[in-house]
Structure formats: C-alpha cells, structure tokens
Amino acid sequence: MSAELFLMMRFEILLIATALILLICSLIFRGDRRAKIIPIAITLFFINVIVGFLPIETGEMFGGMFRTSALNIFFKNILNAGVFIIFLQSAGWLGKNHNEFHYPAEYFLIIISSLVGMDFMISSGDFLMLFLGLELATIPIAALVASDIHKNKSAEGGVKLILSAALSSGILLFGISILYATTGTVYFNEIFKLVEYDKLQILSFIFIFTGIAFKISIVPFHLWTADVYEGAPVNITSYLSVISKASAVLILMIILYRVFGQIVYIWSAVIYVTAILTMTIGNLFAIRQKNLKRYLAFSSIAQAGFILLGVICGTAVGLSSVIYFLLIYIFSNLGAFGVVAIVSNATGKEEMDDYNGFYKTNPKLSFAMMLSLFSLAGIPPVAGFFGKFFLFTAAAKQGYYLLVFIAVVNATISLYYYLLIVKAMFINENENPIEKINSDFYAKAGLVLCVIGIIFIGFFGAIFDYINSISLTL
C-alpha cells in the first residue's frame, strides 16, 4: 500500500494532527495563560474547515473497512463547519476567568476526538469500524457533559449519558453479532447480498436500529435526552443535539440502505411508527417546557421525527432531502443555541420567562433567535421551510399521505411553541429584562455565520442539486 492512499483519510489525519498540536500547546500555555489556547484552537480548526473543501480521492482502503465517497466528504464538511461554529460560540464561555471549567485545551481536544470518531463512523465500510467510531464519538462527550463540576445536574447528565450510551452500544453490538452469526461477514457490501426475510436477521435489524435510535433520541428511546441536555453546559448541549444527532442520522441511513436494503418492507414499517411517535411526543412535551435547554431538547426530538420522514422513502430524493434538512437544521439549531449560550454565559438565565422583553435591550440577539426559531418551525422565507418542504414532498411521492398529514399537523403544533419564545421576546412586558449584553467577537461571528446559513441556503437551489447529484454515492 502506498502512502498516497492515506490521503483518503485526510479529514481524520488532519483532525488528529490538530489535536496533537493543541496537546503540545496546552503544555506550553499553563496557569493563567491557559486562555491563549482559544484563538490558536479556533485558527487551527478554521484551517481544517478550509482544507476540507479541497478535492479528495474517493475509494476504499483496508480491504473495504474505510471508504470515502462524495456524500461522505460533503457530510464531513458539514460536520466540520458545525463544530467550527460551536467552537466560536464556546470561546467566551471558556475564556471567562472564574469559570467552573478551567481546561480550554481539553475542551477542544475532547470535541475534536469525538469528531474524529464521527468521521470514521461515517466512512466505515464494515460493522467493526462503525462500532469503533461510534464509541469514540460518544464516550468523550460524557466527560464534557459532566464538566460543570459544581452542578449536581451536570454530573447527573454525564452519568445518564454514559449509562444510556453503554446500554445502546450493548444492544447494537448484540444486533451486529446476530447478523454476523447468520451471514458470516461484517462487511456491508457482503451482508447486503445475504440479508433476506430471515427471522434472526429481522431481530438483528431491530437491535441495531434500537442502538442507533438511542443516539438520535427517537421515541421511545429518548428518555435520557432532556436530563442530559439540561445538565450539560450549553455548548455541549448544542454539540449533542446537532453534530452528534446529524452523524447518527447519516449512519442510520447507511445501515438501512446499504445493509438492510433488501428488507425495506420490514424497516419502513418500524420507521413509520417511530416517526409518528417521535414527532407527536417531542412536540407535545416541548409545549410544557419552561427551561430553554429542555425546550430545545424536546424540539430536537420532534425534528428527528421529521427527519425520519425522509429516511422512510428509501429513494435518492429522500436521502438528499434528509441531508439538505440536516444542513439547514445544523445552522438553525446552532443559531438558537448560540443565543441561549450568550445569554446564559452573561447572566446565567436559562428560563423562558427571563426572555420577556428581550427585544428592547438586545434587538440583534433577539432577531437572530427569531430567525433560528422560524427556521426550525419552517416558516417560508427562511431555509427551514425548504428543508421541511422537500422532506414532505419526498415522503408524499412514495405514497405516505397519512404520515405526511400527521407531520403537517405536528408542524403546526410546533409553530405554537416556537412562537411562544418569539412572543416572549418581542411582545411580553418585563420590569427588569436581561440587560444589554456585549458578546465577544467569536460569538458574534458564530451567530452571523448561522444567520447567513439560515437565510441563504434556502435560496441557493444549487446546494440541493449538488446533494441530489451525489446522493447515490452513499
């Protein structure tokens, strides 16, 4: 094997190199100079994002364990951009002097290593690589969830995450072992030919689906979500709800299409039921939430239900509409979390009532928040509308009219609670609203990126065309 072949792993190698440089920097900048690592990390990661767009060879290596395709690369770029925005948003939180979390270098290191795991997971061509990547993606995050060491809720969230991750990994591994027992191979391409209407294989599908459903927090495997999201620091919550969820959705599609592609009849029934449950329960619980982090947690569960609408299609159009929706979802959810992070960082307030009269003191922040919420709800001018529209049309094309009807009803319900916050910010009166917040440069840059994404992705039809053209390379 020649050395050029390793260039296919460019994303992973670059990320590991970045992590190594940061590790060395953390040894140089110690004590009070710790905060100097933040600009270095952000610059390095920015270079990563830029280099990611350079062309890259597609193909297989290690006997098919690792594969790159146009879609994988595009998705890795999306994840890179999302993590970059999260880094921008967390700079202010990490830079504060009297912060509970004193380890900025370790924060970047842990997130980067988790991202490496996701990249490997996305590129995997067999179940062993997939499992390895999944573990590397999940376990480091538990450390960050528990990093708010003076809060009991943070520790509780960390323990809950690691327990549910361990349980789901166990279930997933059991499914993989059953599949291996019936087919005698772990490679996706070979399993694809051997899967048929065999009872043991259907059982293994159910186990594997359950394991991944935990990561996407599909109802009824969502119970850990709200507590973990509430306990974790805001930036980690946004990482969990955006990056982690998006990569898990892609993995679900890879497994459904490339491994269980022969038993569409079975898995579309499973997804049909879980999609309805996820949308409805996520929406109904979101209405009752008062804490913004819990609220966004349930809203992200409901969004996962909408995503399943595209997954169920099993067609190229469905696939590309899911990727497109995920792209928009990353920007809109990061926008909402960005505002919550800025406010929580400056004042420590995370309740919905605290946002009453927010527009009077912070017009720009409340405008960004409004745009993100509109995009999440799917109100026409912003990108979120196009994302939902393509998902619904893809499902309707396959004849899932009842499902699309329920989804539309749910979208209307979600409109109510998304507008509740908009109402609180713009209409509700408050005697002592949150005072004017002067956010740092990085947080502003992150929000601007999100707003640009929300406004413009919807209008550039070329993006959807591009995704559509590469969607068959899954």
Partner 1 sequence: MLESYIPIIIILIISVLFAVVNVNLSSLLGPSRPNKEKLSTYESGIEPVGTAHERFSVKFYMVAVLFILFDIEVVFLYPWAVSFIGLDQLKMMYSFISVSVFIIILLVGYIYVIRKGALNWD
Among 12, 15, 26, 417, binds partner 1 (CB under 8 A): 26
Residue 24 near partner 1 by CB under 8 A: yes
Helices (H), 348-400: 358-361, 363-377, 383-397
DSSP per-residue string spanning 212-269 = HHHHHT-TTS-TTHHHHHHHS-HHHHHIIIIIIHHHHHHHHHHHHHHTSGGGHHHHHH
Residue 3 near partner 1 by CB under 8 A: yes
Quick check: 113 and 126 in contact, CB under 8 A?
Answer: no
Strand partners of residue 124: 66
- Closest approach, Cβ 102 to partner 1, in A, equals 12
**Amino acid at the residue 249:** V
Quick check: 472 and 318 in contact, CB under 8 A?
Answer: no
Among 18, 169, 183, 278, binds partner 1 (CB under 8 A): 183
Dmax (CA) for the chain in angstroms is 70
| Stretch binding partner 1 (CB under 8 A), from 19-27, 49-57, 76-84, 454-462 | 19-27
d(CA 387, CA 322): 8
- Closest approach, Cβ 8 to partner 1, in A, equals 16
d(CA 176, CA 179): 5
Residue 20 near partner 1 by CB under 8 A: yes
Shorter beta-carbon distance to partner 1: residue 181 or 409: 181
Shorter beta-carbon distance to partner 1: residue 27 or 462: 27
Classify residue 85 by burial, with Cβ atoms within 10 Å: 0-12, 13-18, 19+.
buried
Shorter beta-carbon distance to partner 1: residue 106 or 354: 106
- Closest approach, Cβ 268 to partner 1, in A, equals 26
- Closest approach, Cβ 67 to partner 1, in A, equals 21
DSSP structural state of residue 67: E
- Closest approach, Cβ 3 to partner 1, in A, equals 7
Shorter beta-carbon distance to partner 1: residue 28 or 427: 28
Q: Which two tokens stand for residue 134?
A: 């999944």
Among 23, 273, 287, 402, binds partner 1 (CB under 8 A): 23
Residue 27 near partner 1 by CB under 8 A: yes
| Stretch binding partner 1 (CB under 8 A), from 113-121, 176-184, 203-211, 219-227 | 176-184
| Stretch binding partner 1 (CB under 8 A), from 33-41, 73-81, 87-95, 175-183 | 175-183
Other CB atoms within 10 Å distance of the CB of residue 112: 23
4 Cβ contact partners less than 8 Å away, ≥ 6 residues apart: none
| Stretch binding partner 1 (CB under 8 A), from 180-188, 293-301, 324-332, 383-391 | 180-188
Q: Which residues bind partner 1 (CB under 8 A)?
A: 3, 16, 20, 23-24, 26-27, 30, 181-184
